[in-house]
């Protein structure tokens, strides 16, 4: 089973700053099998990116995904107040999630 490890565990940033979140796989993942989600407390998770770099419907272009092989990145170019949340990567082969990165207000 492929294990996804996300880093850092917590990212403390201010609105307007750039956020770079990492997701590392224990073995190579085909690009089309990697997605990113946003999850806020008390809300349903939201799909942001699939296929490593394709934004889901309605997702602002400040969110972008990149990477290949074992290293993938979610970038939020300018943090908006509503972007502070927990972010998960997921691979669709065994449908496993990473442990999450919390983006908190500094």
Partner 1 sequence: EVQLLESGGGLVQPGGSLRISCEASGFIFTSYAMSWVRQAPGKGLQWVSGISGSGGRTYYADSVMGRFTVSRDNAKNTLFLQMDSLRGEDTAVYYCAKDLAYCGSECEPEFFDNWGQGTLVTVSS
Q: Are strands 101-105 and 86-91 parallel, antiparallel or unpaired?
A: antiparallel
The answer to whether 32 touches 52, Cβ cutoff 8 Å, is yes
Distance between CA atoms of residues 25 and 79, nearest Å: 26
Between residues 9 and 14, which has the closer beta carbon with respect to partner 1?
A: 9
Q: Which residue among 21, 53, 98, 103 contacts partner 1 (CB under 8 A)?
A: 98
| 9: contact with partner 1 by CB under 8 A | no
Distance between CA atoms of residues 3 and 98, nearest Å: 7
| 31: contact with partner 1 by CB under 8 A | no
Between residues 10 and 78, which has the closer beta carbon with respect to partner 1?
A: 10
| 21: contact with partner 1 by CB under 8 A | no
Cβ-based neighbour number of residue 27 at 10 Å: 11
Taking CB under 8 A as the rule, which mask of x and - marks residues 34-73 in contact with partner 1? -x-x-x---xxxxx--x-----xx----------------
Part in contact with partner 1 (CB under 8 A); list of ranges 12-20, 21-29, 60-68, 97-105? 97-105
Distance between CA atoms of residues 106 and 102, nearest Å: 12
């Amino acid at each position: 089973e492929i294990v996804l490890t996300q880093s850092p565990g917590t990212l403390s940033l201010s609105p307007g700053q750039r956020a770079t979140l990492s997701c590392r796989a224990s073995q190579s993942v085909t690009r089309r099998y990697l997605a990113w989600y946003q999850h806020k407390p008390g809300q349903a998770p939201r799909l942001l990116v699939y296929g490593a770099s394709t934004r889901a419907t309605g997702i602002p272009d400040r969110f972008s995904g990149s990477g290949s092989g074992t290293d993938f990145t979610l970038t939020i170019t300018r943090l908006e107040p509503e972007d502070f949340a927990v972010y998960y990567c997921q691979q669709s082969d065994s449908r496993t999630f990473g442990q999450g990165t919390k983006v908190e207000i500094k």
